[in-house]
Structure 1
């Protein structure tokens, strides 16, 4: 139909496009080690904690300390910016795109869909990571945690990502990996596809998303079905 606005596919970043958990946990452990506490988080066993954010990792580590361990007042506020600094210098040491990501992005673009990122990662770090992974130029818009005064699951960052890419919210959907993404899509009034290959795996079916992706190979067909090719 003439004048029809292209459909937009919006992606979360951590746990959706790439497995960033090991580098995130390394940054948190660097903060703990600087205090002489050792590495309190395990890069495999604690992968899910990493996707809840820097502060969540710090709190999880502090909670594992013996009861008689005294932390100075404001330890979290002191360590959080240090964590971000550590992470910025080692942002793509272990991080890898999930299988099929690049091919799916290429096919979506070939099919005429607009692409954007909406993440709760600080925008500057998200920009660095997307460039390091070699996929920044695939996205017409990128909205981070601090781009607006609010973050997901508020729907405004999602709408900003869609509009920034040149699309319309009514012809868009979100690809994510967490309950936050499910809530964001619901608040924005759009559908969500959650990835089964992310940190929570098939357990995300409990959130009753409109679709679950077992592999990125499935995404272009889903986008064609939901948005039209």
Structure 2
């Protein structure tokens, strides 16, 4: 039997940076500060989460501009609200994602999501992108009391997909994903087309893919492929 492929979401399955940056900028603009983050130059910051974007933006405010105490705490829920209402304006799946997911499923692999995006937002985004139903499980930042790189969300994603951790691997795009795989004791493949590009090889992953076309063969190499036994074929003919 084949195994389980666990995916990160932001920066791995889809480039969500522009919509994330827009959500942060909406908070800055509401305070009369203008768009403090650039959707291209600051894409990497976006993949570190909402609070990281707010801190980066506030760090660019001139010293003579006074911000009220607790601005980050006030703006974080506003950022999430804006993002939830504008979650897939600019976001796009990376090339080849849908074909790769279909091939993985055809090969008998279970598919799961383990993301540090809040579960509700992840559900909404995956549905708007049209790929939610192919995943057997989704674990978000708030599904459990802990998040990546703690290994428990990863293990929960595999278990929810009815898989075995020993027959699974993680596909991600950040150091957090690298640390998660190490903590869970599984292999890690990183994408070379995410926010860091090929420079992500600095994390010495077990594999680096340059396009989603490469993923099905990698999964076959690491997890095998489901082969129907004669009695399975016979059973499929019984009505």
Shorter-chain TM band: over 0.9
Aligned residue in 2 for 1:43: 39
Gapped runs of 5+ residues in structure 2? 226-239
Q: How big is the shift at 1:68?
A: 1.1
| 1:97 Cα deviation after fit | 0.1
Distance 2:127 2:16 in 1: 14
Does residue 28 in structure 1 map to residue 24 in structure 2?
yes
Runs of 4+ in structure 1 off by over 6 angstroms are none
Residue 69 of structure 1: how far off its partner (Å):
1.1
- Three-state SS of the structure 1 residue aligned to 2:5 is strand
CA RMSD of aligned residues (A): 0.5
Match of 1:68 among 64, 71, 78: 64
Match of 1:98 among 94, 100, 108: 94
Instruction: Write the distance in 1 (CA, Å) between the matches of 2:59 and 2:116.
Output: 24
Q: Where does residue 156 of structure 1 map in the other structure?
A: 152
- CA deviation after TM superposition for structure 1 residue 192, in Å: 0.4
TM-score (norm 1): 0.98
Answer with 1 or 2: which has the greater Rg: 2
Aligned-pair CA distance for 1:162 = 0.3
Match of 1:135 among 123, 131, 137: 131
Asked if 1:189 corresponds to 2:185, the answer is: yes
The 2-side partners of 1:73 and 1:35 are apart by 13
Matches within 5 A, 1:144-223: 144-223=140-219
Aligned length: 225
Encode CA deviations 1:135-185: one digit per residue, 9 max, x unaligned: 000100000000000000000000000000010000000000000000000
